[in-house]
Structure 1
């Protein structure tokens, strides 16, 4: 079902759920500052959000087996069971049979099965316990459970018959949201699995459980567990195997301040359908994150002036400053490394690679020496500012020429046929809001061909948040594809909404490069035309 749903509706649903989950820290009493809390998915809110996002009809009345129903634009219909549980959770309740279990005395079958499990026949025993195999009693009860369960499903399908067509044409499915556990990167997984009647003819009893009053069985499609104490039927959802999508969750900064000021917000319906959007991959067509620029701008070559022997004088000053403090052997290595990095030309790719290798060796030595003053002086001249970064726009000039007003009136226009932007910096500004936190910065389009999105006040504002908090990188650690894969992020999306046209909404997303979204630009957009 998930792949058939409208992409805008799915974005709407994701926004509702991740925004709710972004408040999770307010409801966690025991998590430490260093340990991420688990995202909260409220089941009632989930059902309401699902209905709102997909124009679904509530079905969880009159003891129906489903929560909502959906009519797709092509006439296809789904009855949906909505559930939420942790990604690492076990079996989940899908039905309860308190009344019928008492009325039909299901406990008698459980007791007979338990007695047979414990029965040890002896020649001198006059025990009148039926020695038949315990599986027969469990099987008899499993068949009763299946019959009741299937009857409920059939009834619910009949109630759905009025939507369109016959009940046999309506498909059934479980839709689940599965948040990550405490202490891991906050994320919500979307799952889907078959919602089908139990195949009574193929029921098999599985090995006895530690508590024989409970038992498991399978019909070859799903594995079920019945617990006699509360007459519940549970099912194994095979959580990791049913994932069809995943959403990153970012917690609201100072969530208690958010609640304190909640009364100041105007409570009106929010337009969650973007009027325009664009997305692109962070890695390049070769599957690598660009070196020296964009998210790795700090890793570029030093910008220090070469005039009037300025670099030579800086090196000399550092060596003199730490004479007698740093051992002579290490200080000589530092001097030689600085001279190679700062005084030699590194024009070819091989030369640049050699410079970075030497710089890495120097970095390791400086960190090993443990002198903070030395580290500050060395790193400040061999690297660019540690949190310097910008958000690169792929094929930027083409994008701006085709969308000159995306970031604001005429922001994407150029001087003649040049690569220079036409408007001055102060007229190329806009508000950039990060989803789902709602944090905002004032940003502008900059550099040749308008290739970068940068924060106005200080590039470090953007860099500290994205590099340290989003990508969780250490200082001077480059962003790599491996890290993106670990975090489940490989792309960004910018969106605009009618009610706030002056704001550009930014979010990190995951793009399946084999099935890129319709709003994709850059190299990944060509995939649609290659298959």
Structure 2
């Protein structure tokens, strides 16, 4: 496909204009002649300009979904032709990884990395993927695309160990792993052919901002904000026992495994903790009242809150939820239990439920520990 810089130019778009405008305000943050662009700003500018779905909130392997192309967005300083950048964190898996060394560790890291890419592919119906890079040099931005491959485990070689980390190569790209930060990095090479965007950094951006708002006479109001308990909540896919997370073996995602009558493998529900109803009693519709629930691919399920104390979020048919969440997202076979270990491998243990002003709901994955963050922040 064409580069995003070319697409933007051909469509007389705003991507290059917004990147340039943001970079020109660099002296709000730094005295350097290297333009500064906050990575979240770069993600938002990209998604706004190309009408891509922003996936960054969910801690996905991809930052954006552009017409079923998974996009990894990176912005970094490039003083050399190669830059080493973070591509994955494995904090929750550090104890498990500590049991491996050398090539075995490289293999295990690659398995975890590839699993998370596969998860994002399944979750968002991604067909292809690439990295879009905004590299920053003195008074200019370099824009280019490069591959976003899974790690080729069969071709891992050039393994080097040190006291602080591990390095390896898969025949296509070089990787390194930092022990203390439990973080995987990849080397990104700056190609000869890049799109160069000159940046004339404004010497006094503060005066410009004052003049801007003086001219407008009013400060624009923020819209489309995520408001805790008002238009979104986080639901955990686990329970807590003796301060440890666990997935219920006979309820919730594993309700199909409950005792008593013969059950179908499609019998599942997402638990709604009582504290959600206590704190935000008006977020969900009343018990057994049906509503639309859209999954990340755009498909819409019929859903409702049900069971005693409105403790369960289910779909109608119930199998729709299990086919999506258990079979497609978690990649579990019929009869295979959902576990906290599987969730930690994939990097999420909760879901975010959002709603619009019309009472339509959406569901997406939420990163590890996001339910605790939701309650405590």
TM category, shorter: 0.5 to 0.7
Counterparts of 1:506-517 in structure 2, within 5 Å, are none
Task: Report what 2:133 is aligned to.
Answer: 176
Task: Report what 1:78 is aligned to.
Answer: 69
Deviation digits for residues 313-359 of structure 1 (CA, Å, limit 9, x no counterpart): xxxxxxxxxxxxxxxxxxxxxxxxxxxxxxxxxxxxxxxxxxxxxxx
Task: Report what 1:204 is aligned to.
Answer: 157
Task: Report what 1:247 is aligned to.
Answer: 197
Stretches of 4+ aligned residues off by more than 4 angstroms = 8-11
Partners of 1:198 and 1:10 in 2: CA distance = 37
Partners of 1:10 and 1:41 in 2: CA distance = 22
Task: Report what 1:523 is aligned to.
Answer: none
Look up the SS of the partner of 1:91 in the other structure.
strand
Structure 2 runs not aligned, ≥5 long: 222-377
Look up the SS of the partner of 1:212 in the other structure.
coil
Task: Report what 1:234 is aligned to.
Answer: 185
Partners of 1:139 and 1:253 in 2: CA distance = 50
Partners of 2:26 and 2:38 in 1: CA distance = 10
Q: CA deviation at 1:253?
A: 5.0
Counterparts of 1:84-483 in structure 2, within 5 Å, are 84-88=75-79, 90-102=83-95, 104=96, 106-109=97-100, 137-161=101-125, 167=126, 170-180=127-137, 184=138, 186-208=139-161, 211-238=162-189, 240-241=190-191, 244-266=194-216
Task: Report what 1:3 is aligned to.
Answer: 3
Partners of 1:265 and 1:53 in 2: CA distance = 26
Q: CA deviation at 1:263?
A: 1.6
Partners of 2:22 and 2:11 in 1: CA distance = 17
Shift of the 92–253 alpha-carbon distance from structure 1 to 2, 3 Å rule, reads: closer
Q: CA deviation at 1:2?
A: 4.3
Shift of the 108–196 alpha-carbon distance from structure 1 to 2, 3 Å rule, reads: same
Deviation digits for residues 21-76 of structure 1 (CA, Å, limit 9, x no counterpart): 11112323xx4xxxx621111111111110111011111243310010112xxxxx
Partners of 1:192 and 1:15 in 2: CA distance = 19
Task: Report what 1:60 is aligned to.
Answer: 56
Structure with max Cα Rg:
1
Look up the SS of the partner of 1:236 in the other structure.
strand
Partners of 1:173 and 1:160 in 2: CA distance = 15
Structure 1 runs not aligned, ≥5 long: 72-76, 110-136, 162-166, 270-531
Q: CA deviation at 1:85?
A: 0.3
Is residue 22 of structure 2 the alignment partner of residue 20 of structure 1? Answer: yes
TM-score under structure 1 length normalisation: 0.38
Deviation digits for residues 434-464 of structure 1 (CA, Å, limit 9, x no counterpart): xxxxxxxxxxxxxxxxxxxxxxxxxxxxxxx
Partners of 2:192 and 2:98 in 1: CA distance = 34
Q: Are the counterparts in 2 of residues 68 and 81 from structure 1 also a CA contact under 8 Å?
A: yes
Partners of 2:113 and 2:37 in 1: CA distance = 27
Q: Are the counterparts in 2 of residues 41 and 177 from structure 1 also a CA contact under 8 Å?
A: no
Q: Are the counterparts in 2 of residues 2 and 192 from structure 1 also a CA contact under 8 Å?
A: no
Shift of the 254–212 alpha-carbon distance from structure 1 to 2, 3 Å rule, reads: closer
After superposition, the CA RMSD in angstroms is 2.3
Shift of the 251–61 alpha-carbon distance from structure 1 to 2, 3 Å rule, reads: closer
Q: Are the counterparts in 2 of residues 93 and 233 from structure 1 also a CA contact under 8 Å?
A: yes
Q: Are the counterparts in 2 of residues 138 and 205 from structure 1 also a CA contact under 8 Å?
A: no
Look up the SS of the partner of 2:104 in the other structure.
helix
TM-score under structure 2 length normalisation: 0.53
More strand by share: 2
Look up the SS of the partner of 1:237 in the other structure.
strand
